Amino acid sequence: MTLLERFQSTAADVLVAEPLWRANAFKMPVMEWEADFPALSRALRALTHDQVETLKIEPELALQWLRRLEPNVRWPSTEDTRMDVRNEIARPDAFRLRDIPGRKLEQIEAFISAAEISDGTVLEWCSGKSHLGRYLCLQQPAVAVNALEKDALLCAAANHMAQREQLPIHSHCCDVHSTHAQNLAAGSTHVVALHACGDLHLRLLELAVEQGIAHILVAPCCYHLSKRLPWTGMSAPMKALEISLSADDLRTAVQETVTAPAHARRARASLQQWQLGWDMLRRTLTGIDAWQPIPRVERCDTFESFCRKLADIAELTLPATTDFAQFERIGCQRHAEVDALDIVRHSFRRPLERMLVLDRGLWLEEQGYKTQVGVFCDRRVTPRNLLINAVLS
């Protein structure tokens, strides 16, 4: 299938089920679609914690379960096109790769193997410590790298490691939106970015086209981190859909945490339980039964202190009789419900992300690039495993 055919198929999956993926259980104790699918609602709410956890980490299993319950719904496909691996890479000496964390190393090797970069000047975008650039230079002696990174400490670390290994890498401390970045991009033959977030990868694509850079290799990430909201697309086919995606909608595409450490997942769940408990307390106190954004506060030792900080911010007076233990229990119960009900919304994570990445690929085709979009590694390595590989025709 062409990129356009894949985009049209994916967009059809997304558009036909819009009420299902637009609804956010975290913000709505009862969602509108539950009235239309009462059997599905009851089945989700009856799931045990272990059943929910299993369905959360196995998207295909969740879809099979949903299809059995509601066979008349057009549930999306999770099948993705894999990148054509052109390059059987030889791993450099392990000692010289010692600073690269294990999973990052797997990501880098899969990323590099999806395209031929054997020589030329590489612009590494949002480069951090330039692990990707260093690997490229170790593998291909004819490659030189200009790395762009805003964090001065990361730049210093990147330059230190490059000098230690005597590699042709120069890490520049600059904002990628600046004219300095534009000047550094001039003359590059390749531009690479592994997980550049939101507006950062959008700027990369636009600058690469402006500069006529021959080869673009980018794995996008965090589509919601953008000032260009609501999102209506880059390419003509996406704009023709006349769909408007909010930050919440775009965040749905990246809400998969298969690579997050267990302690991080527990901390996130604990915070969400408190947020949901506070939400119900605020609704009870104000009589306003609608979602309101919850400000970030410093980590508190107790749920009560968490609520008191939020009450101060909201200028709400908490009655002396407030039963904080009760609302903490309600928050835990709501969190379990959210996890279960979100199985529906999360079944559209991949189609939403695929549609967004194909939109970017189609836009590059419109600019004269021969473009591939596909999976470059297993989701256990990173769930953000869609790659754009574009070569100027």
Q: Residue 232 belongs to a domain with what CATH number?
A: 3.40.50.150
CA distance 359 to 365: 10
Kindly state the average pLDDT of the residues 173-179.
Answer: 94
∠ CA 358-187-85, nearest 5°, is 40
Run of H or E including 11:
helix 3-16
CA distance 304 to 248: 28
* 245 shares a domain with 151: yes
* 300 shares a domain with 267: yes
Tokens of 188: 């590059």
CA distance 157 to 259: 25
* 185 shares a domain with 50: no
* 267 shares a domain with 234: no
The answer to whether the beta carbons of residues 243 and 336 sit under 8 Å apart is no
∠ CA 319-322-328, nearest 5°, is 145
Whole-prediction pTM: 0.93
* 339 shares a domain with 211: no
* 278 shares a domain with 157: no
The answer to whether the beta carbons of residues 14 and 352 sit under 8 Å apart is yes
155: burial class by Cβ within 10 Å (0-12, 13-18, 19+)?
buried
pLDDT in tens, 159-170: 999 999 999 999
pLDDT in tens, 314-370: 999 999 999 999 999 999 999 999 999 999 999 999 999 999 999 999 999 999 999
* 199 shares a domain with 134: yes
Which pLDDT belongs to residue 304?
97
Q: Supply the mean pLDDT for the chain.
A: 94
The answer to whether the beta carbons of residues 385 and 219 sit under 8 Å apart is yes
- Inside any domain, residue 87: no
- Angstrom distances, CA of residue 370 to CA of 205, 297, 312, 346, 359: 14, 47, 55, 32, 14
- Inside any domain, residue 183: yes
CA distance 227 to 4: 26
What 8-state DSSP symbol labels residue 123? E
- Residue 3: phi and psi, rounded to 5, are -60, -40
- Inside any domain, residue 56: yes
* 246 shares a domain with 126: yes
- Inside any domain, residue 60: yes
Which pLDDT belongs to residue 91?
80
Which pLDDT belongs to residue 255?
85
Torsion over CA: 256, 10, 79, 104 (sign):
negative
Q: What is the largest CA-CA distance in the chain?
A: 72
* 114 shares a domain with 215: yes
* 357 shares a domain with 338: no
* 63 shares a domain with 135: no
CA distance 23 to 44: 15
Nearest C-alpha neighbor of 348 from the set 5, 76, 143, 88? 76
Which pLDDT belongs to residue 270?
95
CB hemisphere CA count around 215 (13 angstroms): 17
Asked whether the predicted pLDDT for residue 307 surpasses 90, the reply is yes
Between these two residues, 202 and 263, which has the higher pLDDT value? 202
* 353 shares a domain with 232: yes
- Which domain, by its residues, includes 66? 3-76+258-346
- Inside any domain, residue 123: yes
Indicate the number of domains in the chain.
Answer: 2
